[in-house]
Amino acid sequence: MNRFEEQAEQAASILAGVIHATPLTDSNQLGRAVGAKVYLKQENLQVTNCCKARSAYFMLSRLLPAEKHHLVTVSTGNNGISMSWAMRKLGIPGTVFLPGTVKAHKVAAIRRNPVEVIFSGDDIVETEVTARAFAAEHGATFRSPYNEWDAMFAQATIVREILEQLAALDEQLDAILVPVGGGGLIGGIAGFLRAVRPNVEIIGVQPDNSAIMAHSVRAGKILVMPSLPTLSDATAGGVEQGAITFEYCRDYVADYVLVSEEEIGQAMLLLHDWHDITVEGSGALAVAALLKRADHFKGKTVALLLCGANVDPLLLEQLKKA
């Protein structure tokens, strides 16, 4: 058994009964639109409204007793929401560092749990430098949102579920579209599929306004680049130098699709109108990419990962008006 397969199985066992095995929803409407069989993996229905609940709980469950006295992490929002939830569940005190660009509704969600919140910098990479220094100075344990093996193993449980759910329908997966930020989500999925279903095509999706990983893969090294504001704030920002995710994003992801802000907004509205599904910008990336590259997926069985739903409730109304 491959390391990813073994660790994903262990993660699934630890997460059972704590997080949801989220539904895989058949989207007849999208299927007809692109001429494919399209399934929506609804991590928007996860316990923290995002897939980060898996990695947060699994990472913290693996801490040694001496590492549990104080936990420090960094986030653009969803990891902070999920880590603060996991800290409360496991009785671990902690601090969440946030760049100043994090949306107010996500800050409020983090603060519903008993954690310290510190703002630093404007990009997640800058914030991470400060958070790591703080952890070292205070003898605390630091955990990255994506640059951790346990984070990748936990996210691999998503595609493990997808394969089981499709098998129950007598279907086999041809391609999966995955939102990309620092690469922990797609890296875990790629590591698992490489072991059990190497013929599945893995497509990464990023917003044009913040596509650091895609540009880095094309350059062959992790780039330092600015990000513009994006509806997909959960995937926004840079990638830490030396990130373990880079190799998986470079070697096992077949292609990257970059989508515009208009395409992200349209995909959010489409999911709401066709399926009554509410997602944040990152949760709509896979749908936007499918529609942009419709011809590529014709005749295939495709899974779209809807990674989160921590959206500002006023945003959909603003998008409709726009």
State the helix-helix crossing angle for 104-111 and 78-90, rounded to 10 degrees.
0
CA–CA dist 51, 34 (Å, integer): 26
Fold agreement (3-51+149-321, 52-143): yes
**pLDDT score recorded for residue 244:** 97
| Amino acid 175: pLDDT | 98
pTM, two decimals, is 0.96
The domain limits of the chain are: 3-51+149-321, 52-143
Per-residue pLDDT, 41: 98
Residue type, 154: A
Q: What is the CATH number of domain 3-51+149-321?
A: 3.40.50.1100
Q: Which amino acid is at 51?
A: C
| Structure-token match 């509704």, residue found | 105
Query: Looking at residue 274, what is its pLDDT?
Result: 95
Estimate the share of the chain in helix, then strand, then coil, as percent rounded to the nearest 5. Answer: 50, 15, 35
User: What separation, in Å, do the N-terminal and C-terminal C-alpha atoms of the chain show?
Assistant: 51
Q: State the pLDDT at residue 21.
A: 96
Mean pLDDT, the chain cut into blocks of 10 residues (322 residues total): 91 97 98 98 98 98 97 97 98 97 95 97 92 97 97 98 98 98 98 97 98 98 95 94 97 98 97 96 98 98 97 85 78
User: What is the DSSP-derived secondary structure letter of residue 233?
Assistant: G
CATH 3.20.20.70: does it fit domain 52-143? no
